[in-house]
Amino acid sequence: MLKIKDMSVAVEGKEIIHDVNMTIQKGETHVLFGPNGAGKTTLLMAIMGFPKYRVTKGSISFKGKDITGLTVDERARLGIGMSFQRPPVVRGVKTRDMVAACLKGHGDGDTIDKLANKTDLSEFLERDINYGFSGGEIKRSELMQLLAQKPELTLLDEPESGVDLVNIVLIGELMNDLLEKNCPILYRKCMGLIITHTGHILDYVNARTGYVMCNGTIGCVGDPHEMLATIRERGYDECIKCYLGRVPTHE
């Protein structure tokens, strides 16, 4: 379980997220909507533990453990994984090396080849990670690394952005794998938190909880499909207006 309690996050001294509460139970995938600049990425970065995203108030606990003070790598080893929207190029570090690092010894060259095959990246294994990758290739490469890492909590930042229609099917399948969509909910262990703009991703993942985030706070919690319909029809403004003044009911 991931439990965020009254958390505020500051970036370079400026508070971006204010008093956010969120609970993701074992086996659940939640979706985060919100306009640009709402603080969605900041929330994900803070959960992952990047030093630039400083928790100024409240706490994050994961699997019953307070992780607010843990470093990025400690959280990763505890089972939190994240797909980067714009990952850096690391010259000389091959895609294969990255997948091997994610596997941490739980698999060999054969495992890597299979994962590459599955993500249609076989020809990218010997290339420098992210160097000259297209948008879709970056998404698939991030998912390949996560499939190797097998996190219990997967954080995905707009997995569908910049991806064409052919790729989105593959990406949807890979996310299902990661989030164990085909596993009966009772036995499902994996959790997910997904940022989406378009909502396309709802066609592929089994998400029953959605949030709308505006100005650094979570304005509403509810059924993501319903939310998406409202946002599509009337935009975020309407969404905000509708829930204005409502206290988050999720807690």
Partner 1 sequence: MSKASTSGTNKDKARAAANKTASLGEDIDLSKYVSSDDQHPYRDNPSQLPAKAKGQMLDAGVMLDDTSQRSGTYIQMDNTPVHSSVSQEGVEVMPVSQAMEKYDWFGDYWWQAVAVDQDKYTANIELNQYSGYFIRALPGQKTVFPVQACLYLVKDKLEQNVHNIIIAEEGSELHIITGCTTATRDEPGLHLGVSEFYIKRGAKVTFTMIHSWNPETAVRPRTAAIIEEDGLFMSNYLMMKPVRSLQMYPTARCVGENATVRYNSILVAGEGSSLDVGSRVFLDGKGSRTEIITRAITTGGNIIARGYIEGNAPEVKGHLECRGLILGEKGLIHAIPELKGNLAGIDLSHEAAIGKIAEEEVEYLMARGLTRDEATATIVRGFLRVDIEGLPTLLVEELRRAVEASEKEVM
Paired tokens of 80: 């939190």
Which region among 54-62, 83-91, 174-182, 239-247 touches partner 1 (by CB under 8 A)?
Answer: 83-91
d(CA 126, CA 112): 11
Other CB atoms within 10 A of residue 92 CB: 8
Which region among 5-13, 85-93, 190-198, 212-220 touches partner 1 (by CB under 8 A)?
Answer: 85-93
Q: Quick one: 119 or 209, whose CB is closer to partner 1? A: 119
Smallest distance from partner 1 to CB 140, Å: 16
Residues 131-150 that bind partner 1 (CB under 8 A): 145, 149
Q: Quick one: 7 or 76, whose CB is closer to partner 1? A: 76
Q: Quick one: 70 or 240, whose CB is closer to partner 1? A: 70
Paired tokens of 124: 């990218």
Paired tokens of 131: 């160097």
65 binds partner 1 (CB under 8 A): no
Residue identified by tokens 């969605």 is 40
Please give the single-letter amino acid code of residue 84: F
Smallest distance from partner 1 to CB 191, Å: 17
Which region among 5-13, 93-101, 162-170, 213-221 touches partner 1 (by CB under 8 A)?
Answer: 93-101
Residues 14-43 that bind partner 1 (CB under 8 A): none
Please give the single-letter amino acid code of residue 86: R
The CA–CA distances, whole Å, from 140 to 7, 44, 156 equal 31, 19, 12
Query: Which residue in the set 48, 70, 170, 183 belongs to the binding site for partner 1 (CB under 8 A)?
Result: 48
Please give the single-letter amino acid code of residue 175: M
d(CA 43, CA 217): 10
Q: Quick one: 90 or 170, whose CB is closer to partner 1? A: 90
222 binds partner 1 (CB under 8 A): no
d(CA 155, CA 86): 14
107 binds partner 1 (CB under 8 A): no
240 binds partner 1 (CB under 8 A): no
**Residue 115 near residue 72 (C-beta atoms within 8 A):** no
Which region among 4-12, 55-63, 99-107, 182-190 touches partner 1 (by CB under 8 A)?
Answer: 99-107
Which region among 5-13, 18-26, 60-68, 71-79 touches partner 1 (by CB under 8 A)?
Answer: 71-79
Could you list the beta-strand ranges (E) of the chain: 2-11, 14-24, 29-33, 53-62, 65-66, 80-83, 90-94, 128-129, 153-157, 191-195, 209-214, 217-222
Which residues here bind partner 1, judged by CB under 8 A?
48, 50-51, 71-73, 76-77, 81-82, 84, 87-88, 90-94, 97-98, 101-102, 104, 128, 145, 149
